Amino acid sequence: MKESSQTILKITLLCIICVMGYALWYQINKPVSLPVNSVTNKKLIVTNEPSISELQLESPVISDYNEMIERPLFFEDRKPYVFVEPEIKAPPTKMKATAPKKNEQYSLSAVMIKSDKKLAIIQSGRDKKLQRLSLGESIDDWVLETIEPRSVLLKKGNETKSLELEIKTTSQKNIKSTKTGSKKTNPKELTEKIIVPETKTIKSKS
């Protein structure tokens, strides 16, 4: 009797386990049913408005933003910004070293005056060479304007330069020797002789 009751209990438990397993399997594999939209049951209203796919969206033109660009929101006065091109400074030019001017001092060495011709011998301060000049001739762009017995006048543009002779004083012995000579010299002949005194440089007059 006991054995039969135990077998019945086992069978009952086995059936319960099978039912529970089937219920669990059914819940897992149960198909999901989507809710029915209530709008599908209503009638569709047809309108003449275009669909979204048919709409053509126009992109804004860049010129529409010119006002915003010219008057930025982040500027207090909102005045149009004016671009000022920076000044490019030129590099300083190197000054070329100019050679100092050579000495343009001149000295009158001798003067020769004849009835038909006047000559002057002038020594240049550059090369210390003697140059014989007549009226109108030039030395280093200085033109000989006038010749006097003891001076000459040089001219260069608006600048003039006067050169004078320095006459040496003769000694008494030389004077006596000239007096004892047999022939008397004519004063006119003395002016025709070349006078070679000591030279003297006179500063130019501008």
Question: What pTM does this model have?
Answer: 0.34
**CA distance from start to end of the chain:** 165
| Contact yes or no for 139/133 (Cβ under 8 A) | yes
pLDDT at 112: 86
The burial class, CB within 10 Å (0-12 / 13-18 / 19+), for 164 is middle
Tell me how far apart the alpha carbons of residues 120 and 205 are, in angstroms, rounded to a whole number: 20
Q: Count H helices and E strands in the chain, helices first.
A: 4, 9
Domain extents for the chain?
106-179+186-205
Percent of the chain with pLDDT over 70: 47
Predicted pLDDT of residue 108: 86
The amino acid present at 186, given as its one-letter code, is N
Q: What is d(CA 168, CA 195) in angstroms, rounded to the nearest whole number?
A: 10
Tell me the three state secondary structure of residue 189. helix
Which residues in the chain land under pLDDT 50?
A: 38-39, 97-100, 102-103, 182, 187-188, 190-194, 199-203, 206
pLDDT in tens, 91-139: 777 655 444 454 467 888 888 888 888 888 888 776 778 888 888 898 8
